[in-house]
Amino acid sequence: MDRVSIETRLVHCGEIDDPSKGIVPPLYPATTYERAGDGSYPGTYVYSRMDSPAFEKPERLLRSLESGSDALLFSSGMAAGSALLQALRTGDRIVAPRSMYWGFRNWIQQFTADFGIDLAFYANDDMGELEALFREKPANLLLIETPANPTWEITDIAAAADVAHRHGALVAVDSTVASPVLSQPLVLGADIVLHSATKYLNGHSDVIAGVLVTRENTPYWERVRVARTNGGAVLGAFESWLLLRGMRTLFVRVKAASENALAIARALENHAEVSHVSYPGLPSHPGHEVAKKQMKGGFGGMLSVRFKKGGEKARAVAAKLRVFKRATSLGSVESLVEHRASVEGAGSLCPDDLLRFSIGIEPVDDLLDDLNQAIDLRTED
Ligand SMILES: *Cc1c(COP(=O)(O)O)cnc(C)c1O
């Protein structure tokens, strides 16, 4: 059984122990579990804020997916990230990338200021700056996000982890955009991997969830677990069940989205109205060589496009798209477009002329036709 590939285990929803022999797992809504007369728990579970078969089943698959020793599901990606912060102590230091998911970046800034945690930023691909930051002052935690929202800068996970480990810090990688299909941060040397499971892992825009997977059980990881149990940000039973269903098709979805994204990036790179396409799969991307090394089987479904005529053109293109839905989020089967600068608002580091695309699994010609009509802004027939 152990020799079955993780892809097959995902397709089969993991190991199902249903007495009715259902081909998919049952839903586990129980919040509490019965004790035997002697006070013991024959089913091992006690109370569903601590442990539950509902989230343990997907956790087991996620642990295998990332080659880790333990996984914890959370009620959102942000809750998973928050647990990483809550496990730090006043006086600790965290080193984070300058370019990263805007919501988490803002939260880190506020949290560290409120709780007396030191915070330093490094340019995502500058290992010299990273080394200098660690020399200046020891840190407890290095955060990496690669590819990083919304410009898809690439950080060399192995090189950055080496810097952090030489200085005694733990390394956590937000690998949401790469997904476990394309990248294995724990194998590359990271200690903890974070996913917004809302994105590729679930993949259908119908579950908010987050997960952390650790390579080893460390005292820091135990603090993360305590933060989840007592903070209470556990994943609900139905969301856990939907996540199991979503993950059945993870590998085919990510591969299809990656193929579509590469074709679209290549087509748009030469478009007369486009000044720049940021996609790690293009040789013009500054992180392409590192991406080739640490992303296997594709470069993901996320790309950003900048327009020669500026922000107004970008917004007009977004308004004209019909197959692409105008919505935030990423990693689902349907293609989405977003003008990030207006979403992020004041303080955004995102250029105004940039559109962010989450490429889905629709036939690529439908997506290319839609982009062509929107970019040329031809009038409707
Ligand atoms: C969406 C996202 C998050 C936050 O996850 P939620 O599930 O929305 O809380 C964190 N990191 C990245 C890279 C994301 O895209």
Residue 149 neighbours by CB under 8 Å, 6+ apart? 99, 100, 101, 102, 177, 302, 356
Same domain, 184 and 79: yes
> Which segments of the chain does DSSP mark as H helices, in order?
6-11, 53-65, 77-86, 102-114, 127-136, 157-166, 179-182, 219-231, 237-247, 250-269, 288-294, 311-320, 340-344, 364-376
- Residue 148, CA distances (Å) to 31, 99, 337 in order: 37, 6, 17
CA distance 182 to 178: 6
The mean pLDDT value for 192-205 works out to 98
In a domain, 102, yes or no: yes
pLDDT at 380: 47
CA-derived radius of gyration, the chain: 21
**What is the best residue among 85, 196, 243 to mutate for testing ligand 1's pocket, by most ligand atoms within 8 Å of CB?**
196
In a domain, 320, yes or no: yes
Q: How confident is the model at residue 211 (pLDDT cuts 50, 70, 90)?
A: very high
Same domain, 159 and 33: yes
Report the SS3 class of residue 337. strand
Question: Does the structure show a pLDDT above 80 at 377?
Answer: no
Q: What is the pLDDT of residues 250-278, one digit of tens each?
A: 999 999 999 999 999 999 999 999 999 99
Phi, psi of 304 (to 5 degrees): -125, 145
CA distance 321 to 168: 49
The mean pLDDT value for 21-50 works out to 96
Q: How confident is the model at residue 180 (pLDDT cuts 50, 70, 90)?
A: very high
CA distance 302 to 131: 29
Domain boundaries, position 352: 251-375
- Residue 271, CA distances (Å) to 173, 274, 368 in order: 34, 5, 12
pLDDT at 378: 56
Same domain, 152 and 202: yes
Final residue of a structural domain among 202, 226, 247: 247
Same domain, 222 and 352: no
Same domain, 207 and 271: no
Q: What is the CATH number of the domain that holds 17?
A: 3.40.640.10
In a domain, 381, yes or no: no
CA distance 200 to 203: 4
Q: What is the pLDDT of residues 321-366, one digit of tens each?
A: 999 999 999 999 999 999 999 888 888 888 999 999 999 999 999 9
pTM as predicted: 0.97
**152 CB within 6 A, ligand 1:** no
Instruction: Give the N- to C-terminal CA distance of the chain in Å, as an integer.
Output: 57
Same domain, 32 and 10: yes
In a domain, 22, yes or no: yes
CA distance 90 to 69: 28
Q: Name the strands in the sheet holding 336-338, side by side, starting at the edge strand that comes first in the sequence.
A: 274-278, 302-307, 354-358, 336-338, 325-326
**300 CB within 6 A, ligand 1:** no
52 CA distance to ligand 1 middle (Å): 24
Q: How confident is the model at residue 85 (pLDDT cuts 50, 70, 90)?
A: very high
- Residue 290, CA distances (Å) to 146, 157, 170, 175, 299 in order: 11, 9, 21, 15, 11
pLDDT at 347: 80
Question: Does the structure show a pLDDT above 60 at 318?
Answer: yes
Q: Whose CA is nearest to atom 6 of ligand 1?
A: 77
In a domain, 200, yes or no: yes
Final residue of a structural domain among 247, 276, 293: 247
pLDDT at 348: 82
pLDDT at 344: 84
DSSP assignment string, 183-218: --TTTTT-SEEEEETTTTTT-SS----EEEEESS--
Q: What is the pLDDT of residues 148-179, one digit of tens each?
A: 999 999 999 999 999 999 999 999 999 999 99
Same domain, 243 and 335: no
Structural domains counted in the chain:
2
**Would you call 249 exposed, middle or buried from its count of C-beta atoms within 10 A (0-12, 13-18, 19+)?**
middle
Question: Does the structure show a pLDDT above 90 at 1?
Answer: no
Final residue of a structural domain among 247, 268, 288: 247
Catalytic sites, residue numbers: 49, 101, 174, 199
Report the SS3 class of residue 243. helix
**Contact predicate 48/239, CB 8 Å:** no
**179 CB within 6 A, ligand 1:** no
95 CA distance to ligand 1 middle (Å): 19
Phi, psi of 357 (to 5 degrees): -115, 130
Residue 76 neighbours by CB under 8 Å, 6+ apart? 196, 198, 208, 209, 210, 233
Same domain, 68 and 178: yes
**199 CB within 6 A, ligand 1:** yes
Q: How confident is the model at residue 372 (pLDDT cuts 50, 70, 90)?
A: very high
Q: What is the pLDDT of residues 296-316, one digit of tens each?
A: 999 999 999 999 999 999 999
Same domain, 192 and 285: no
In a domain, 297, yes or no: yes
pLDDT at 2: 58
In a domain, 1, yes or no: no
The mean pLDDT value for 7-25 works out to 95
pLDDT at 185: 98
Q: What is the pLDDT of residues 100-144, one digit of tens each?
A: 999 999 999 999 999 999 999 999 999 999 999 999 999 999 999
Same domain, 43 and 130: yes
CA distance 155 to 144: 7
Same domain, 226 and 89: yes
Same domain, 300 and 326: yes
pLDDT at 286: 97
Question: Does the structure show a pLDDT above 90 at 78?
Answer: yes
In a domain, 222, yes or no: yes
**210 CB within 6 A, ligand 1:** yes
Q: Are β-strands 93-97 and 302-307 bridged in parallel, bridged antiparallel, or unpaired?
A: unpaired
Give me 223's structure tokens: 């603090």
**DSSP bridge partners of 94:** 119, 141
CA 79 to chain centre: 13
